[in-house]
Amino acid sequence: MLPVRIDLVPTAEEIRPQDLAGRTAVVFDVLRATSTMVTALSHGCRGVIPVETVGEARELAARLAAKGEPVILAGERGGLKVQDFPCGNSPLEFSPEAVGGRWLVLTTSNGTRAICRAAEAAGRVLVGSLLNAGAVAGELMKGDGDVVLICAGSGGSFSLEDALAAGVVIAEMGVKDPSCLSDLAVAALHLARAYAEDFFAAFTHSRHGRKLLHLGREADLRWCARKDAYAVVPAVKKGNGFWLVQIDW
């Protein structure tokens, strides 16, 4: 079953609550926040708590630790680990040994902000990436309501890699009639088809991907370019005063 309509939001800044009300939203920040979340949860993380600011992340991680909860504090700004944080935003940091059985408090430049904003307005919010594109597509096909694919973007600008992943999800849903797609969703679908044989190449062509390469993060890009590495669908839920991302079985 296909949704009635599939729209695409090109950046976190363009999220409008009235466009999300009662709809299922999927947030993409492929390089790297949502890829990191999918990886950590697949490796046994108890849940990811996305927060918008560095101060919020510090306070929340300290509060959880004071309660005896096993917690990891992680964050990134401008592609670099937040100073004095134990971890950054590389999915390679969150192996089963590192993250298994622990909570992850995460703040990033774009992705965590997009998730929190979407969660305030949408009927349901899922976390998407190339790593779980097929699983997300399968989950969306179980419903019959409207879908909004939200690209986090980078610094308020459009990011090729986020639209690419959104387009891969559309392709995996088997959409053949474009009448259910907005123009931006159609563009994302064609972008996915153009790079279908080499998603890593798309990352090397994107502005943010080139920045991460310059920072020595090629291994991160190659990790995030692996389509359907995990069959999980993380969903955003309301926690105790915060949003919580966990695997939606």
Q: Tell me the per-residue pLDDT of 233-246, one tens digit each, with 9 for 90 and over.
A: 999 999 888 999 99
- Give the full edge-to-edge strand order of the sheet including 147-151: 6-9, 147-151, 24-28, 124-128, 234-238, 243-247, 47-50, 103-107, 71-77, 80-81
Residue 3 has pLDDT above 80, yes or no: no
CA atoms within 13 A on the CB side of 16: 7
For the chain, give every domain's residue range: 6-247
User: What is the arithmetic mean of pLDDT over 217-245?
Assistant: 96
Q: Report the candidate in 129, 122, 111 with the shortest Cα–Cα distance to residue 51.
A: 111
Contacts of 65 (CB under 8 A, 6+ apart): 71
- Say which amino acid occupies 224: C
Residue 165 has pLDDT above 70, yes or no: yes
What integer pLDDT is reported at residue 178 of this predicted model? 86
What integer pLDDT is reported at residue 2 of this predicted model? 73
The residue assigned the tokens 């996915």 is: 192
Mean pLDDT of the chain: 96
Instruction: Report pTM.
Output: 0.96
pLDDT-derived band at 50, boundaries 50, 70, 90: very high
- Say which amino acid occupies 22: G
User: In the CATH hierarchy, which fold is given to the domain comprising 6-247?
Assistant: putative 2-phosphosulfolactate phosphatase (3.90.1560)
Contacts of 75 (CB under 8 A, 6+ apart): 54, 57, 81, 82, 85, 87, 88, 89, 106, 107, 108
Question: Could you read off the pLDDT of 196-214 as tens digits, one per residue?
Answer: 999 999 999 999 999 999 9
* Beta bridge mates, 72: 104
Residues 209 and 225: their CA atoms lie apart, in Å, by 11
What integer pLDDT is reported at residue 248 of this predicted model? 66
Residues 136 and 170: their CA atoms lie apart, in Å, by 10
Q: How many residues does the chain have?
A: 249
β-strand pairing of 71-77 with 47-50: unpaired
pLDDT-derived band at 177, boundaries 50, 70, 90: confident
